[in-house]
Amino acid sequence: MSRPGFVLEVDDRTPPLLVHNGEGFLLERFPQGTRVVYPPEALPPVRDVDEAIQNALLNPIDSEPLPELLRAGMRLTIAFDDISLPLPPMKKPDIRQRVIEAVLELAAQAGVDDVELISANALHRRLTPNELREIVGERVFRSFFPDGKLYNFDAEDRDNLTHLGQTRHGEDVEISKRAAESDLLVYVNVNLVAMDGGHKSTSIGLASYKSLKHHHNSHTMIHSRSFMDHKASKMHHSAWRMGEVLTSHVKVFQIETTLNNDIFGGPLEFLQKREWEWSIKDQASFLATKRGLDVAPAKLRHKIFTDTRSNYGLTGINAGAIEPVHEKTIEAVHRQHLVEVQGQSDVAIMGVPFVGPYNVNSVMNPILAACMGLGYYFNSYRGNPVVRKDGAVILYHPVDYEFSQLHHPSYVDFFEEVLSESTDPATIEAKFEKQYAEDPWYIHLYRTSYAYHGVHPFYMWYWISHALDHCGDIVWVGANRKTVERMGFRSASTLSDALEMVSHSVGRSPSITYLHNPPHLLADVR
Amino acid sequence: MGTSLVKFGKDTARDVKQVARGWRWGRRPQVPRSAEPYVIPKETTVFPTKWARTPAAIAVRDLIQKGPLNAVLNFEVSPQVSGLDSLLKLDGPAIIVANHSSHLDTPLLLLSLPDAMRRRTAFAAAADYFFDTWWRAAGSAIVFNTFPIERRGGKMSATPGDLLADGWNVVVFPEGTRSPDGWVQRFRMGAAYLAVEHDVPIIPVGIKGSFAAMPRGRGWPIPGRPAVHVRYGDPLRPAAGESARDFAPRIAAAVSALLDEESTTWYESRRRAAIGASPSQTGPEAARWRRVWESTRPMRSTDNRRRAWK
Amino acid sequence: MMLALEMYRSPAKYLAAKAVGGRIPGILTGPAAPLRLVTINEPKAERDGWARIRPILSGICGSDLGMVTGATKLYFSAVVSMPFVPGHEIVGELLDDCEDLPKGTRVVMDSVLTCAARGVEPCEGCVTGNTNRCDRITVGHVAPGLQTGFCRDTGGGWGNLMVAHRSQLYAVPDGMSDERAVLVEPLAGAVHAALRAKVEPGQSVLVSGAGAVGLFATLALRELTQAGRITVVAKHAKQRELARAFGASDVVAPDEVFRGVRRATGAFRLKQDFSGGEFLLGGVDVAVDAVGSKDSIDTVLRVTKAGGRVVLSGMPASGADLSPVWFRELEVTGTYASAREEPNGRPAFETALELAGRAPLDGIVGARYPLYRWREALDHAHSAGRLGTVKVAFDVRAS
């Protein structure tokens, strides 16, 4: 039995509430009257996953059953979501593994020889062989990886990109050549949040920089309100237009899966329980974990968090034509994430957790922390933002000056060079984006090492442009003052200081909403 | 190192304090008002008491009961026990049924039982009172060997049957709660049901004077070492084919007869019982004060031993 | 008789400074300093062209500190004459008429003791105007000493009186403050370095170090060349600020050099095995080392593009890895002091005087000490960067 999400109003009976704070968490007493948005509890998972997969493949929506699409001598390409989903990563076996195995089983029966598997990482970093194995599973890995038939998509490999044409808005559609020339492209998706999936899977996941820049730019992204609502997101509109072009060239069989909110298990279960229902055991776990993390050396702490794997139950799987499948997917995602919130408030508070889409097995650098808070969480709404126009956002994260040279080489430069010059997305875009996108070193690292593309930090910054535009004040609690100031924000040592700092714009007794995630939620602000 | 240890200590104290205050350690947890509609009604979590019947716990209990508990009880009240020979007629576990008007009843019953039987006796205790916090549950389980039952009727937890099957005697107060005025209240069906179900005899027990010694609302017996009488009756067995519904009144009558016997004599009470004229032990239909007045009428003390200093 | 700080030969102190100076910096300017405040005979200006000068301000240079702290290599022991009064960055007042310069003129001094000052036939260097390359610095009628301030006979800026030859002197324009004038000597060195760096228009330059040498080099490069992007490596906040004011395009922290240069030049960055050392393929066209430490030299050698030029402007330490010089065919250029005839056809000091007149140099002399507080002064100079000071000077007249 899972309870729906709801909005708590902090009163004198409310215990202090848990706030995620990077690689750690804390308890915060919010002012009385603060609204706290709790996500729905984990939905009951599908009991027999394999049966559900079979059912989806054999009874697809608006498409022939998969076995009918498979024949000997065809070119079959299976693309799948990369390591940025789900967050935190899933306990083995990954749902993608189970789906891909089912698809390959059918392909083997049909006698398909020419099969390639592509991680649809667009401009994300390449996955290491181990990471690929974690996603597709040992069997698939062993069958395809040694022959180079299981690989990361390379958006800079000019020889292996195909320009499929332009949309009616003149946007270039350029995707993986292999995918474009396949007789059937099967896409295996994990739809963790409402932003994922649909045409975004193929038209963005397998696209080149040339194609991506049509929607990954400050103008489009500032008008994507929000990313979590593809019908109100300019970025998604563009991806949908590209999808039309793409699907007119390639037959796509989309498989979308949705997961429930069962993220924290074992001793960390208290992280997804409502605080007033914490048992003695939960309280003890909290204390033990918090004290342990406080004394743990940074490396160990990082390892503990990086090694977190989540249970996740499958809540649904749909296959067939992209758009109707995605409708169903979004329904399931909404069932798990949507919480109705009445009206906007003056101040929104969010705790930025340890992991975001772009720092799996890596460190969350200041730009990613900003993106997680002001990109992901701020955009976790449908209708209106949780905070009113010119209201204030208060975030929790240490925002340490910490970058991974391996994964985020261009981020350091972006932080040091670009942000010290300007924090305005449009200015940054005009002056620096091209330089970074074309820097041969970044391209080299992206293609051969495990680095995000040089232009990726710009996308992070565009992603927060909506929040920058919408909010009057952005204050981080407990953050490194220097790094936060470089990004154009302010830092406060406590929540009350932060509220004091924003009081000139929102008054002494502002209405406050705290978004209690993760687990993920989507605020349906009326 | 030293300073970091001190800091760790301080931070730990700070965190523990925050949790202790936030979750009201030692008091009732509370639910924010706006969250009340979403609270799942609490599953009655039955406090596990199996550990209280392990040899180690039995040994500890024996020490507590024979030591401090016995001493305190005998110091504060003067128990008069009769009818113990009825227990000799048992050849297995039994359900001990008594009227209930005071917290004294439990230790009285326990300490009046022969040692061998006492060690093998468990008490049915109201889950909502004795088992609502872990410390009260653990305390009563170790001292009195209690196990939780649901007194609001309906589903009886499975344990009493299991205990009987394991050879434990089970004490049940079928009134469900302590009498508010000292008079016997309506007996519930639980004990009868158990007896029929598991085919075990019932030992009726009448306890008189405990209300006067320590009524509801008192935390300690009244001064003056009041006399309290515990009278055991002969085992009752459900007749073949007798239902719990039919058996229950017999149990109630047996307890009433024992109480009658306590205030008169055995033979008189037997006579009255035979013609069905045992005086009602439910007290007169009158104002509360009169009922209390009547039930606390001082008994003639059978304790004729002179105190040393008199 | 006059009051002066005198450097004397003391092997024991030298060894002590070498042994523990790295761990206990205080000892370098304290008990282990081979320096004493003494009253000694005034130097004499008896020959033609020589005149007495009363120093007004006298800067503390990195090479002075090197001498005091024992960092200077024994290589230089042959070109100094002990005991001597240090101090070669001076602005002073002439006490005698000196050829065309009347008594009372404020002067600055090119400290190199060349053939002209020594009264010998000009050597090859002096003939061509490269006076800093003079080969006769140990002969003639002046005791050996590469510069005033390292020579027994001339006295130095850290004393109440010194002598100098007309060939060394440049008159300070009226209206230029003493604080600016005392910077002319290091500025001249920077002018020399900037011109030696032969930066072509638009070339990228890295200046490693943002002490006086680095900052002035940055200034000179910006003023005298058409360098494109100038990246300065600066450790401390005040240095960063000044580097920008002096014309740096961007400023990076010492541990950020590889990242910053890579980004600025679009180079490729490689990591070597085991040691974790890095280097760039590609990089800046010209790198100027203005520190002299092993780390700094290693860094500039590794971030300069193949065929590029590395200018050593600080007194170099030993132990740098020269592999990049060979593999990347680097041109390594030394720059020492300044010349009478620079590539731009003028004495470096004239250019430096102009620069001193117009550059944003207020507050560069961040601390002035009388001679008797020399330990404090040296200690301050030793950690000037951290204390936000560029130049520490002795206020000789206050002594």
The domain spans of chain B are 50-295
> CB distance A444–C268 less than 8 Å?
yes
Counting as contact any 3 or more CB pairs under 8 A, the partners of C are A
Please determine, for residue C207, whether its predicted confidence score (pLDDT) is greater than 90: yes
> What is the value of ipTM here, to two decimals?
0.84
Segment C18-42 shows an average pLDDT of 79
Is B34 in Cβ contact with A7 (below 8 Å)? Answer: yes
The chain B residue lying nearest A38, using CA atoms, is B35
For chains B and C, having 3+ Cβ pairs within 8 Å is answered no
Q: Which of B74-88, B150-164, C83-97, C168-182 has the lowest mean pLDDT?
A: B150-164
Residue C72 in contact with residue C149, Cβ under 8 Å?
no
Q: Does the beta carbon of B29 lie under 8 angstroms from any beta carbon of chain A?
A: yes
For chain C, the domains span 2-183+361-398, 190-334
The neighbours of chain A, by the rule of 3 or more Cβ pairs under 8 Å, are B, C
The 10s digit of each residue's pLDDT in A45-103 is 999 999 999 999 999 999 999 999 999 999 999 999 999 989 899 998 999 999 999 99
The yes-or-no verdict on residue A421 having pLDDT over 50 is: yes
Q: Do A440 and C250 touch (CB under 8 A)?
A: no
Residue C183 phi, psi dihedral angles, 5° rounding: -90, -5
> How high is the pLDDT of residue B300?
57
What pLDDT does residue B45 have? 57
- Residues from chain A contacting residue C283 (CB–CB below 8 Å): none
Check pLDDT > 90 for residue B150: no
Judging contacts by C-beta atoms under 8 Å, the chain A residues touching residue C267 are 441
**Residue C307 — φ and ψ, nearest 5°?**
75, 5
Contacts of B33 in chain A (CB under 8 A): 9, 11, 13
Distance (Å) from the alpha carbon of A208 to chain C's nearest alpha carbon: 21
Superfamily of domain A6-41+338-525: LarA, C-terminal domain (3.90.226.30)
pLDDT tens for each residue of A78-90:
999 999 989 899 9
Q: Does residue A239 surpass a pLDDT of 80?
A: yes
Question: What would the mean pLDDT of C97-114 be, rounded to a whole number?
Answer: 93
Find the range with the poorest average confidence among A481-490, B118-127, B259-268. Answer: B259-268
Helix axes C374-382, C62-69, angle to 10 degrees: 110
The distance of A38 to chain B (nearest Cα, Å) reads 10
Q: What is the pLDDT of residue B157?
A: 56
Q: Which chains touch B (3 or more CB pairs under 8 A)?
A: A
User: Are the beta carbons of A291 and B31 separated by less than 8 Å?
Assistant: no
pLDDT digit string, tens, across residues B158-198: 577 888 888 889 898 888 888 888 888 888 888 888 888 88
Helix axis angle for B134-144 and B55-64, nearest 10°, is 80
Q: What is the CATH number of domain C2-183+361-398?
A: 3.90.180.10
Level-2 CATH architecture, domain B50-295 = 3-Layer(aba) Sandwich (3.40)
Q: Which residues of A touch B11 (CB under 8 A)?
A: 291, 294
Q: Break chain A into its structural domains and give their ranges.
A: 6-41+338-525, 49-259, 264-309
Residue C269 pLDDT greater than 60, yes or no: yes
Average pLDDT score over residue span A109-116? 94
Task: Enumerate the residues of chain C whose CB falls inside 8 A of the CB of residue A416.
Answer: 252, 256, 259-260, 263
Chain B residues with CB inside 8 Å of A277's CB?
31, 39
CATH homologous superfamily of A49-259 equals: LarA, N-terminal domain (3.40.50.11440)
Candidates C241, C249, C255, C263, partner chain A, best to mutate (most A CBs within 10 A) = C263
Residues 384-403 of A with CB under 8 A from C: none
The torsion angles phi and psi of C123, rounded to 5 degrees, stand at: -80, 180
Band the pLDDT of C56: cuts 50, 70, 90. Answer: very high
Of C250, C252, C269, the CB nearest to A441: C269
> Which CATH architecture is the domain C190-334 placed in?
3-Layer(aba) Sandwich (3.40)
Contact A164, A155 (CB under 8 A): no
User: For position C85, what pLDDT does the model report?
Assistant: 94
Helix, strand or coil for residue A421?
Answer: helix
**Chain A residue closest in CA terms to B8:** A295
Q: Are A162 and A181 in contact (CB under 8 A)?
A: yes
B8 and A294 in contact by Cβ < 8 A? yes
In angstroms, the CA B279 to CA B276 distance is 9
Residues listed for chain B:
310
Confidence label for A169 from pLDDT (cuts 50, 70 and 90): very high
Q: Do B32 and A9 touch (CB under 8 A)?
A: yes
Residue B276 has pLDDT above 80, yes or no: no
- Is the model's pLDDT at A320 over the cut of 50? yes
Contact C202, C226 (CB under 8 A): yes
Q: How many CB atoms lie within 10 A of CB B191?
A: 27
pTM of the model: 0.74
Q: To the nearest whole number, what is the mean pLDDT of chain A? A: 93
Rounded-to-integer distance, Cα A235 and Cα A225, Å: 9
Amino acid at A11: D
* Statement: residue C338 has pLDDT above 90: yes
Interchain CB distance below 8 Å, A416 and C266: no
d(CA C115, CA C167): 10
Question: Do the chains contact at B23 and A9, CB–CB below 8 Å?
Answer: no
Q: What angle do CA B251, B256, B260 make, to 5 degrees?
A: 150
Percent of chain B with pLDDT over 70: 91
> CA of C290 to nearest chain A CA: how many angstroms apart?
23
B62 close contact with A: CB closer than 8 A: no
Q: Give percent of chain A above pLDDT 70.
A: 100
Q: What is the per-residue pLDDT for C297? A: 94
Helix (H, G, I), strand (E, B) or coil at C233: strand
Per-residue b or e along A412-426, where b marks 16 or more CB atoms closer than 10 Å to that residue's CB: bbbbbbbbeeebbbe
Contact of A421 with chain C, judged by CB distance below 8 Å, is answered with no
Polymer length in residues for chain C: 399
Can you tell me the mean pLDDT for A118-125? Answer: 95
Contact state of A439 with C263 under an 8 Å Cβ cutoff: yes
Give yes or no for A413 touching C (CB within 8 A): yes
Q: Does residue B3 register a pLDDT over 90?
A: no
Q: Do A295 and B8 touch (CB under 8 A)?
A: yes
Q: Are the Cβ atoms of B22 and A27 closer than 8 angstroms? A: yes
Confidence class for position A285, pLDDT limits 50, 70, 90: very high
Asked if pLDDT for residue B282 goes beyond 80, the answer is no
Tell me if C269 and A417 make a contact (CB, 8 A cut-off). no
Express each pLDDT in A423-433 by its tens digit: 999 999 999 99
State the residue for tokens 């240490």: A398
What are the two backbone dihedrals, phi and then psi, of residue C225, each rounded to the nearest 5 degrees? -125, 170
Amino acid at A73: G
Yes or no, beta carbons of A440 and C268 under 8 Å apart = yes
Yes or no: say if B269 and B261 are a contact pair by the CB < 8 Å rule.
Answer: yes
User: Between chains, do B18 and A16 touch, taking CB under 8 Å as contact?
Assistant: yes
- Residues C107 and C55 sit within 8 Å (Cβ to Cβ): no
- Max CA pair span of chain A: 71
Contacts A286 to B, Cβ<8 Å: 19
Instruction: For chain B, give the mean pLDDT.
Output: 82
Give residue-wise pLDDT tens across range B137-148.
888 888 888 888
CB contact under 8 A, A14 and B23: no
Q: Tell me what pLDDT residue A127 has.
A: 95
Structure tokens at A501: 């700092």
What share of chain B has pLDDT > 90, as a percent?
6
Q: Would an 8 Å CB–CB cutoff place A454 in contact with chain C?
A: no
Q: Do B15 and A8 touch (CB under 8 A)?
A: no
Contact A416 C252 (CB under 8 A): yes
pLDDT digits (tens, 9 = 90+) for A170-219: 999 999 999 999 999 999 999 988 899 999 999 999 999 999 999 999 88
**Which of A401, A415, A417, A482 has the highest number of chain C CBs within 10 A, making it the mutation to test binding with C?**
A417
Decide if A441 and C268 are in contact by the 8 Å CB cutoff.
yes
Query: Looking at residue B310, what is its pLDDT?
Result: 43
Contact A286 B38 (CB under 8 A): no
Helix axes C184-196, C348-358, angle to 10 degrees: 110
Q: Give C218's pLDDT tier (boundaries 50, 70, 90).
A: very high
> Among partner residues A413, A439, A440, which is closest to C259 by beta-carbon distance?
A413
Residues 9-28 of chain B whose Cβ lies under 8 A from any Cβ of chain A: 11-12, 15-16, 18-19, 22-24
- Nearest CB among A412, A416, A440 relative to C266 is that of A440
| Chain A residues contacting B via beta carbons under 8 Å | 1, 3-4, 6-11, 13-16, 27, 29, 274-278, 283, 286-287, 290-291, 294-295
CA distance A403 to chain B (A): 27
User: Which residues 429-448 of A have a C-beta within 8 angstroms of C?
Assistant: 439-441, 444
The tokens describing C57, both together, are 């301000």
> Which of the four pLDDT bands, split at 50, 70 and 90, describes residue A457?
very high
The burial class, CB within 10 Å (0-12 / 13-18 / 19+), for A512 is buried
d(CA A200, CA A240): 7
- What's the whole-number average pLDDT of chain C? 91
Mean pLDDT calculated for residue range C323-336: 94
CA–CA dist A54, A71 (Å, integer):
18
Lowest mean pLDDT among A1-5, A151-155, B262-266, C352-356: B262-266
pLDDT tier, C70 (very low <50, low <70, confident <90, very high otherwise): confident
Which position has the higher pLDDT, B52 or A260? Answer: A260
Question: Which chain C residue has its CA at the smallest distance from A415's CA?
Answer: C260
Q: Which of C252, C260, C262 sits opposite A441 (nearest CB)?
A: C262
Listed in sequence order, the residues at least 6 apart from C139 whose beta carbon sits closer than 8 Å to its beta carbon are: C118, C120
CA distance C159 to A357: 67
